[in-house]
Each structure stands twice: as C-alpha cells, then as structure tokens.
C-alpha cells in the first residue's frame, strides 16, 4: 500500500543522490551506511528506552533505501550484486528494528510476552520475505499479501515514535500500549501474508506440467 509513495520520496531525495554521485560515492556504499544507521538506531536506542530518538535515527537512514536505488539507476550502476546486497541488508535492518524492541521489553519495558511478540514479528517478517524469494527462485511469483515490508516498518516506527512522544508530553505511560497493540496487528497480518504466499505458490505449482521422465 505504502509503495505508492516511493516515487514521491525518491524525487525528494534525488538532489542528495546526485550530490553523492558527484562526490564519487557508490550506491552500494549508501546501502551499507544506511543499514548501519538503522541497526545503530534500533540496537542502541531502543534497549535504553530511547524510543523516539531511535525512531528518528532509523527514519533518517531508512531513506537510503530509496537514494541508493535512484543512484544506481541514474549512474547506470544497476547490477545483480547491488540488488542482492540491498535485499540482504534490508533483512538485517528489519531484524534490528524488531530485535531492538524485543531488547527494550527485556530491559526497561519489563515484559517477556511483549518481547516474545516482537520476536515473532521479526521471525514472520523474515519468513514473508523468504517465501517470496524462494518462489521467485523456482520460477513462480509470491508478491501477494496484506503486510508488505514497507507497511510493517512504517506502522511500527510511526506508532513507536508517537507513543513515546505522547509519553514525553505527559499523556502517561499507558500510551505505550500502542506499541504492543501494533505488534499484535503486525503478527496477525504477517502470518496471514505467509499463508497467502504459500497458497498462491501451491496453486502455481499445481498448474505446472509434470516433470519429464
């Protein structure tokens, strides 16, 4: 759903991408730095309880995912390795975000079941991406689902930042319930997405001709 806004933000950050290209920075370097920034924001800030600060740091570096693609297309540096690196590091960043929330609940958040919920979201997010990648490696498609990567990330980052902002504004600690509620919704949505992808690949596989003897 949120992919429709990708072109808008790409246009916003295009001048920065052009500047980096003129400076001799490669798209792969931007991909790597962006991932390191996301991981630092999630794994340093979240476990300390600095939720809003973590969201702001992560958000700043998440846009590198659009900048590196723009740079690669503009400079003609599109390559299979670049696509592989981008996709692989995306998974690492996603894991850091949900892993950071799990560490928050193990630490200052003091809730084992919420930590487990964050870990479940981390796991199902990885399975969602793997199901699509594995289907494509077998010559099939599995792009269906109600919980795309961008939807999951924007939802949890927005609600985490909003909850901590409201807490700092004096609403009270109860507003932090917005985070586990969002995690619960994402857990259900990710599970449904995995099932949807399994079913669509099964239908495609049944339609394939039998292997030659």
Render each residue's pLDDT in the chain as its tens digit; 213 residues. 445 556 666 677 777 878 888 888 888 888 899 999 999 999 999 999 999 999 999 998 887 777 887 888 888 878 888 888 888 998 999 999 999 999 999 999 989 999 999 999 999 999 998 999 999 988 899 888 888 888 889 899 999 999 999 999 999 899 999 999 999 999 999 999 999 999 999 999 988 877 665
- The pLDDT value recorded for residue 213 is 59
The pTM (predicted TM-score) of the whole model is 0.88
- The pLDDT value recorded for residue 79 is 83
> Would the CA dihedral through 104, 105, 106, 110 be positive or negative?
positive
Q: Residue 145: left (phi > 0), alpha (psi -120 to 50), or beta?
A: left
- The pLDDT value recorded for residue 7 is 64
8 A C-beta contact, residue 105 and residue 46: no
- The pLDDT value recorded for residue 8 is 63
- The pLDDT value recorded for residue 181 is 97
Judge whether 90 counts as a catalytic residue. Answer: yes
Which residue shows structure tokens 């994402």?
186
Active-site option among 68, 86, 90, 94: 90
Q: Greatest CA span in the chain, whole angstroms?
A: 71
Residues 106, 173: Cα–Cα separation, whole Å:
17
């Amino acid at each position: 759903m949120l992919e429709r806004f990708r072109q808008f933000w790409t246009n916003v950050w295009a001048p920065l991408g052009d500047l980096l290209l003129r400076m001799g920075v490669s798209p792969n370097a931007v991909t790597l730095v962006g991932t390191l920034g996301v991981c630092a924001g999630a794994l340093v800030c979240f476990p300390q309880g600095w939720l809003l600060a973590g969201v702001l740091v992560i958000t700043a570096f998440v846009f590198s995912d659009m900048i590196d693609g723009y740079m690669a297309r503009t400079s003609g540096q599109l390559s299979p390795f670049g696509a592989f690196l981008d996709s692989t590091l995306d998974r690492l960043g996603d894991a850091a975000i949900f892993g950071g929330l799990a560490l928050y609940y193990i630490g200052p958040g003091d809730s084992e079941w919420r930590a487990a919920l964050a870990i479940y979201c981390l796991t199902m997010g990885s399975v969602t991406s793997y199901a699509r990648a594995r289907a494509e490696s077998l010559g099939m498609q599995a792009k269906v689902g109600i919980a795309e990567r961008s939807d999951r990330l924007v939802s949890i980052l927005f609600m985490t930042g909003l909850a901590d902002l409201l807490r700092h504004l004096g609403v009270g600690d109860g507003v932090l319930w917005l985070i586990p509620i969002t995690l619960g919704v994402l857990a259900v949505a990710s599970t449904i997405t995995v099932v949807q992808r399994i079913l669509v690949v099964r239908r495609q596989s049944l339609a394939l001709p039998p292997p030659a003897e």
